[in-house]
Amino acid sequence: SITLNKQYDQMAWLGRGPHENYCDRNGSSFVGLYKGSVAEQYFAYDRPQENGNKTDVRWMSLTDLKGNGLMVIGAPTISGSAYLFPTEDLDEPGTRKSQRHISDIQPKDMVTWNIDFKQMGVGGDTSWGAYPHQPYLIPARKMEFSFRLCPAQEKGVKENQRYLEMK
């Protein structure tokens, strides 16, 4: 995770969207160019939990209203999400969770940007407690992935968009 100043709250990505999606929940998410505020990516589930993930991301940027910020470019793809609070507010350590209601989570003066190789599927297709199917699990082994993190300026983002859309 990367912590950014709160002004970098404009998100754009070339990947699956426009709504949250996961490796086992992306049938209605299509690869395209999407954008919106970080706040718009968060869904207020009754029980606070990580959400707003995007899969098959070629690039993702977080910028201010002028288009300046950071861009991550997958090699070839990544997953990503962003929140207006630290991830720890959603997933404190241990099995006992104090944040039981959405009102327990309040936006902070920050943006948390999660850049992942991939995430395990969410499961739950046969019951709320159902584990993800085998193809959507991540084996316990050493994994490596690559990405480029570079400055994003309005002009540079547009140039990268054209270049990456052609790949």
Domain count, the chain: 1
Say what the pTM is. 0.86
To the nearest whole number, what is the mean pLDDT of the chain?
88
- The 10s digit of each residue's pLDDT in 10-47 is 999 999 999 999 999 999 999 999 999 999 999 888 88
Q: What is the CATH number for 94? A: 2.70.98.10
**Residues spanned by the domain of 14:** 2-166
Mean pLDDT, rounded, for 70-91: 92
Helices (H) and strands (E) in the chain, counts: 2, 7
- Contacts of residue 60, defined as CB under 8 A and 6 or more positions apart, other chains included, come to 11, 12, 13, 14, 15, 54, 71, 72, 78, 80, 115
